[in-house]
Amino acid sequence: MESQPMPVRRQAPTVARRRLAAEMLELRTTSGRSREAVSSDTGLSQGALHRIETAKTTPQAGTLNHLMDYYGVTDPEQRAAMQELRKRSKQLKWLELFEGGDLPDSYRTLASFEADAIRISDYESLFIPGLLQTRAYTETIIRTLLPEAPHEEIEQRLDIRMRRQETLTKPHPASLWAILDEAAMRRRVGGNQIYLDQLEHLLAAGQRPNITIQVIPFSTGAHLGMPGAFATLEFPEPDPPLVYMENAGGGLFVETDSEIAWYRNSFLRLAAEALSPQDTTTWIERAASAG
């Protein structure tokens, strides 16, 4: 594996880049021009246009001005707003420190979106949510799932996980609504002490005004969340929400309105079947006291 060339690392898309991409796509479709026509008229390749319109890359200032000229954008305020989006569309500064590692692009993307989110609704069936994990719990999971990973990669992933959690503690934090299957709560990841420390961490987190935690007990029986975990991330208007799902093969983002609506409704149904936040606190306290 070491003999293979390192893949080119793309910047993790941000909410600002998603909005800029949507604006650029809207300008082109409103003009009635195909990518082929725009490419022929402006000299910008169709591939470059596709990457800009799908938030895979951020255009240079000159390229953005050239395209706005071409599409007839003359309003100074609109032009300034789009250039501001371009400036803000770079990935997180702290995430840049971890460039060059073996982290999946989807994981970097999730970190950048979480930093911009105002609401996160996370259902987990087997793990404590990443934003609520202790460092020891996280390390155990990483070492179990990546038994051959070098020490440097494990430390990198740990540091990123801890930095991701800052979205819940910054001056204007995101709100987190976490629903956990009892299976995630019962599994003694890392042994008894790490398990108990994780429960205490959840109790402390649940006292914060921006965090809501609910447990779906085994007694509920079959429920809608059994197929797997998912999280919905919401952003300030006008940025659309998205859904993130993760499995052994990597992460997947869902952005279509109909699918997002399905996951939102599913989350609300899971919340209705779960213990209330107050009863969840009592449940966790009993689990911790039982050792």
At 2-15, the pLDDT tens digits run 333 333 334 456 77
Q: What is the CATH number of domain 93-289?
A: 3.30.870
Hunting for tokens 């910047």 — which residue is that?
11
The domain ranges of the chain are 15-88, 93-289
Indicate the Cα dihedral angle 46, 52, 54, 56, nearest 10°: 110
d(CA 213, CA 45): 48
pTM comes to 0.78
Looking at the predicted structure, is the pLDDT value of residue 209 above 90?
A: yes
Identical fold at 15-88 and 93-289?
no
Confidence class of residue 35 from pLDDT cuts 50, 70 and 90? Answer: very high
Angle between helices 135-145 and 151-164 (to 10 degrees): 140
Q: What is the CATH number of domain 15-88?
A: 1.10.260.40
Confidence class of residue 134 from pLDDT cuts 50, 70 and 90? Answer: very high
* Structure tokens belonging to residue 179: 């629903």
d(CA 218, CA 50): 47
Confidence class of residue 71 from pLDDT cuts 50, 70 and 90? Answer: very high
